[in-house]
Structure 1
Amino acid sequence: MRDILDAVASGDLSPAEAEARLVGYATTDAGRFDAARERRRGIPEAVLADGKTPAEVASMAMAALETTGRVLVTRADDAHVAAVTDDLPADATVDHDERARTLVVHAPDFEPPDLDATVAVVTAGTSDAAAAGEATVLARAVGATVDRIDDVGVAHLGRIVDHLDTLRAADVVVVAAGREGALPTVVAGLIDTPVIGLPVSTGYGYGGEGESALGSMLQSCTVLSVVNVDDGFTAGAQAGLIARAISGARDE
């Protein structure tokens, strides 16, 4: 503790960094940023922009950058992105996925994790790309290599069959599908890899907001796990944790 206090006194450590090291989080006007989450859970803390003002998101993002060397913002609109990027140092790297509504920022000295494991992220249709994109960002943030396979829904089974080699080579697979949500069940019946079903709120009429896709995946006769509707964050994080465990086993 004395070393931390001396570092603050000398200007080598900011008060936010010191607080994060001592108690595991940094306090901002917008809330508390869990700076120790990645060390504790293997998943980096993200700033959910939904329900927060642009100024609040920017405040949390700056705390993240200062204490962990990176920022991960989800469900961000243009105003959130502008507020964060306006406050960034000039040498930070920025990756904004407008469709997935994610923003990833790295400090120049940040060293991202690198796992010896691959996550395949699959979409049944192009309309499923937003949720799948969020899952992709999370899996990459954990350090996994991500292979994307897009627009291979069950309306033409030949499309998914064409990618069986890639699916079977992956360590874990996330499958995003709307409408009746059949694709995860089909994929899980063809490979011996863990499959995470990601129901998406696309479709017509009754059950078209993701309810039918969720119900179908929960009732799957092939073994898979399922996250909530449009919850690419949890799907990508769970896939990343599996990839992390596999990578750790390979390193032993």
Structure 2
Amino acid sequence: MDQLEIKALLERVASGDCPVGEALMELKLEPFRDLGFAKVDRHRGLRQGIAEVIYGAGKTPEQIRAIAASMREDGDKTILITRMSPEAAELVGKELPLAYHEMGRVGIVGAMPKPTGTGRIIVATGGTSDMPVAEEAALTAEALGNEVVRLYDVGVAGLHRTLSHLEDFMSARVIVAIAGMEGALASVLGGLADCPVIAVPTSVGYGAAFGGLAALLSMLNSCASGVSVVNIDNGFGAGYLASMINHIGDRNPG
């Protein structure tokens, strides 16, 4: 039960359409559903405004299917599954309305919500090789109700590619800058735009990139103000944070 559903329930109580005892029973339902191998958080949407997200890596296809099915039974309209394998997608898709995005390894059960954020989120990559992480970020943000603009392969190795989208960057509410190698894209965008920049280092690069560590340290040491950094290849974390920023101001409907 999310905030809007709680609000609607309280309004029904106030109008006399719902007995207090019935409303109390709905609110007293256990805060999680125990599946034995997982305890699905049923009140996360109420606490945080966003329902639980299923992290698919390390889970069997059967476990993912059971968790998603329980969330759907509890009324979740959009269920986000990250790091989902094609094998898991095949199994889940037989029983649930799943859209699987192989590049980002993201599965979405149910319908995509209409954008409710106040602005646009731009997801930009330094190169084409960064697109799997970028798709995880972009699909996460879209599943959480945001308009997303993808700008791929606009890295600083050809600065004219970056500057050709200057108007887009200047009009964004949040920018997610995704790059491997030396990770310079985040600093450049941080020096151009007037909005928060969320930097995502990727594990793309030759040996001395150390699996993304070089980009991570470069981004952490950015001389541009307003740049924050998530972990290596963490497109989900960046998309989630970008959504939170884009929804500031509508967290307490009243």
TM-score (normalised: structure 2) = 0.84
Determine if contact 1:118/1:145 at 8 Å carries over to the other structure. yes
Q: Is 1:73–2:81 an aligned residue pair?
A: yes
> What letter is aligned with 1:101?
R
- Once the two structures are TM-superposed, the CA of residue 48 in structure 1 deviates from its matched residue by 0.8
Q: Which residue in 1 is equivalent to 2:133?
A: 131
Instruction: Sort the Cα spacing of 1:124 and 1:194 in 2 relative to 1 into closer, same or farther, 3 A.
Output: same
- Once the two structures are TM-superposed, the CA of residue 149 in structure 1 deviates from its matched residue by 0.5
CA distance in 2, matches of 1:4, 1:41: 21
C-alpha offsets along residues 183-214 of structure 1, whole Å, 9 cap, x if unaligned? Answer: 00001001111100000000000224100000
What SS does structure 1 have at the residue aligned with 2:99?
Answer: strand
CA distance in 2, matches of 1:117, 1:98: 27
Q: Which residue in 2 is equivalent to 1:55?
A: 62
C-alpha offsets along residues 152-181 of structure 1, whole Å, 9 cap, x if unaligned? Answer: 011010001000101111100000000110
> What letter is aligned with 1:244?
H
Q: Which residue in 2 is equivalent to 1:30?
A: 37
Q: Which residue in 1 is equivalent to 2:103?
A: 99
The percentage of counterpart residues that share the same residue type is: 38
- Within 5 Å, give how 1:161-172 maps onto structure 2: 161-172=163-174
- Find 2:244's aligned residue among 238, 241, 249: 241
Determine if contact 1:57/1:80 at 8 Å carries over to the other structure. yes
The RMSD of aligned alpha carbons is 2.4
- Within 5 Å, give how 1:183-194 maps onto structure 2: 183-194=185-196
CA distance in 1, matches of 2:91, 2:24: 32
- Within 5 Å, give how 1:137-216 maps onto structure 2: 137-216=139-218
Determine if contact 2:71/2:79 at 8 Å carries over to the other structure. yes
CA distance in 2, matches of 1:116, 1:23: 34
Structure 1: give runs of 5+ residues left out of the alignment. Answer: 7-17
CA distance in 2, matches of 1:95, 1:58: 14
C-alpha offsets along residues 15-49 of structure 1, whole Å, 9 cap, x if unaligned? Answer: xxx7x962332222330112222332133311111
> What letter is aligned with 1:245?
I
CA distance in 1, matches of 2:219, 2:232: 11
CA distance in 2, matches of 1:100, 1:195: 21
Instruction: Sort the Cα spacing of 1:21 and 1:117 in 2 relative to 1 into closer, same or farther, 3 A.
Output: farther
CA distance in 2, matches of 1:4, 1:35: 17
Q: Is 1:87–2:95 an aligned residue pair?
A: yes
- Once the two structures are TM-superposed, the CA of residue 111 in structure 1 deviates from its matched residue by 5.7
What SS does structure 1 have at the residue aligned with 2:203?
Answer: coil
What SS does structure 1 have at the residue aligned with 2:211?
Answer: coil
Q: Which residue in 1 is equivalent to 2:12?
A: none
Structure 2: give runs of 5+ residues left out of the alignment. Answer: 1-19
- Find 2:48's aligned residue among 19, 41, 47: 41
TM-score (normalised: structure 1) = 0.85
> What letter is aligned with 1:235?
A
> What letter is aligned with 2:247?
R
Instruction: Sort the Cα spacing of 1:112 and 1:133 in 2 relative to 1 into closer, same or farther, 3 A.
Output: same
Instruction: Sort the Cα spacing of 1:169 and 1:113 in 2 relative to 1 into closer, same or farther, 3 A.
Output: closer
